[in-house]
Amino acid sequence: MYDLTEFNIRDLSECGFMVRQLGKEAQSMEAASKIIIKYLYDNLVNCQTQERSCVLIRLFKTHSYGNLTPELQKYVQHTLNKTEINHDLKCLTLLATAGEKPEWNYRDKSLGHQAIPLVDEEAISKAPMISQLIKQLGVEPGVLIQPDPDLFVYLEEEIYQIFYVPNALCSPYIPAKKSFVAPFNIKSVLGCGGLLPSGDTFVVLMFLKAELPKATLDLLRHLTLNIKMAILPFDNNSIFINSGQYNIINQVKDVSEQNISIDNLQSEIDTLNQLLNVSEKSTITQSQSLERVIQELQTTIVKLQESNTKLLHTEKMSSLGRMIAGIAHEITNPINFIKGNIVYARKYTENLIELLTEYQKHYPIPVHEVQEKIDEIDVKFLVEDLGKIYKSMGNGTEQINEIIQAMRNFSRMDKGEFQKINVQEAIDNTLIILGSRLKANPKSPAIKVIKEYQDLPLIDFYPNQLNQVLINIMSNAIDAIDEYSQQRTTKDIENEDSRIIIHTEIIKQANTEIITSDWVQIRISDNGPGISPELQKKLFDPFFTTKPTGKGTGLGLSISYQIIVEKHHGNIICCSEVGEGTTFMIQIPVQQKLG
């Protein structure tokens, strides 16, 4: 089954092969045509509805009156209304037909098209479709009426055109609009054909329920050649089924049988050559479009990978943000409760101490048991220490509030517009979030953070995104230091603390498209193991990771690159030497170009 609206080179090859094979089983041109036309009628379908694409499909061949069967000769006599007819008169003869109405499946049941005498140019021009079709095939009607054998040798090689009328209902070339085109819902008409070595023309006409794309039309030219190959062996001899005596009646008498078969063989070779040529051309066109499609697919895959990468990371960051916002929210109430109650606890304690002092004033010598308790709990120290405890509790709650504020700032969602961002604040918030990872643990010592901040202006940045970059780079530094400390001896660690230095400064950047030349630079250096030059080349590639599965996705730096370089027109540079640690430099224009 082939769908002409999606006809491809594979369909063409299969269909062409079948057409040629089917032709081989026949004993006459009519028989070959019938099998081929029936095959096309049954196999050209709309693949979605399984409905046949052709309302009617017919194969015609020009044929000399003298070579027609007696029935057809009578038919022509009746058409022309005379009995004396020149035997050389060409008649467009219906050889095979298949269609929706039962009578369209028998050539001898056609009322008007069994054999159309091509009397003269004027007569031909009265049948607009036939004359247009013939012209479209590249043959002048005059040539058709009186074939010039020499001209045909040339034409036969050239002509395997197709004729296509896209909007059948509006076309001046298509007759019987009311009785045929409209009621049978015919959308377009396709004609294809060519010349045979005898000088005769063959034409296949398809009345279709769909309009065909240009690509299909190009491919159908090949089908014409395949049909020609199938009927070619019968040219000049067996035309009609069971009518040997009518075939070759009127052949040019000085052409021997041998010559005919040599001519036919030559024609077969020529047609095969043409088939090869057009096949090669379509293979080239198809492979070019395949290459294009592959290229497009590759670009799409890269884009998909990129957006997937972004999505993954955005998802990662937003769940981190949500989690942090959730924790901040949950801690707020109890901490406010503690903070509020500390004030009362302090006041009540002060009251109790005052009361105790009053007691001591009025009863300077307490009973033995009370004195014993006073000594046991060391009241003097307790009173002094309580003040300090309340002070540190107050400081502690203040600190927790600061952490909550930092967590809130960190998880502030992307508003989709540049905002003025305080770089130092973003760094401090990130350090608070990563606080627990900087502390000593059984596997690695504490990491010292050294801040070297220069006063910086606020910079234009998408909110939350600088946090993403900082958290990526700082967690990489912590990971690297942690991993390195497993390899270092205690002595090494004593000699050199694990440390991260964060340095900020204003730099001037020349040759930049950004309006301002003021940039800020954040340098984050660690004294981890460093990165080899080979690995440095891959650092910013999506999915590049040296961490075990489940620990690293290899997205941190590629996302950071996108944020800094692509979204904020900055730079992100890595300087590293194995054994010497790593520095990431983030350079960002203070002001972003609007629009």
- Token representation of residue 300: 């799409």
d(CA 553, CA 256): 82
Q: Does 557 bind ligand ATP (CB under 6 A)?
A: yes
Q: Of 445 and 552, which CB lies nearer to ligand ATP in the complex structure? A: 552
Distances (CA, A) of 156 to 147, 179, 193, 200, 205: 12, 36, 11, 10, 19
Q: How far is the CB of 481 from ligand ATP (least distance, A)?
A: 8
d(CA 349, CA 534): 66
Q: Binding partner of residue 544 among ligand ATP, Mg ion, none, CB under 5 to 8 Å per kind?
A: ligand ATP
Q: How far is the CB of 305 from Mg ion (least distance, A)?
A: 18
Q: Does 528 bind ligand ATP (CB under 6 A)?
A: yes
Q: Binding partner of residue 545 among Mg ion, ligand ATP, none, CB under 5 to 8 Å per kind?
A: ligand ATP
d(CA 53, CA 211): 10
Q: Does 544 bind ligand ATP (CB under 6 A)?
A: yes
Q: Coil, strand or helix: which one is 304?
A: helix
Closest CA to 128 of 161, 163, 97, 155: 163
Residues 280-339 touching ligand ATP, rule: CB under 6 A, are: none
Closest CA to 144 of 204, 76, 63: 63
- Binding segment (CB under 6 A) for ligand ATP, from list 228-236, 288-296, 420-428, 525-533: 525-533
Q: How far is the CB of 532 from ligand ATP (least distance, A)?
A: 9
- Token representation of residue 481: 């230091």
Residue 542 backbone phi and psi in degrees, to 5 = -60, 140
Return the residue of 99, 463, 556, 570 that touches Mg ion, per CB under 5 A: 556
Give the bridge partners for 502, in sequence order. Answer: 451, 524
Site mask for ligand ATP (CB under 6 A), range 435-474, x = bound: -------------------------------------x--
Q: Does 476 bind Mg ion (CB under 5 A)?
A: yes
Q: Of 242 and 546, which CB lies nearer to ligand ATP in the complex structure? A: 546
Q: Which residue is nearest to Mg ion (CB)?
A: 556
Q: Of 67 and 476, which CB lies nearer to Mg ion in the complex structure? A: 476
In this structure, how many other beta carbons lie within 10 angstroms of the beta carbon of residue 394?
Answer: 14
Distances (CA, A) of 442 to 244, 298, 432, 482: 104, 48, 21, 11
Q: What is the dihedral of CA 559, 560, 564, 570, to 10 degrees?
A: -120
Q: Of 148 and 580, which CB lies nearer to ligand ATP in the complex structure? A: 580
Q: Of 364 and 533, which CB lies nearer to ligand ATP in the complex structure? A: 533
* Contact predicate 594/580, CB 8 Å: no
Q: Of 181 and 539, which CB lies nearer to ligand ATP in the complex structure? A: 539
Q: Binding partner of residue 582 among Mg ion, ligand ATP, none, CB under 5 to 8 Å per kind?
A: ligand ATP
Residues that bind ligand ATP in the complex, under the rule CB under 6 A: 472, 476-477, 480, 526, 528, 531, 539, 544-547, 552-558, 582
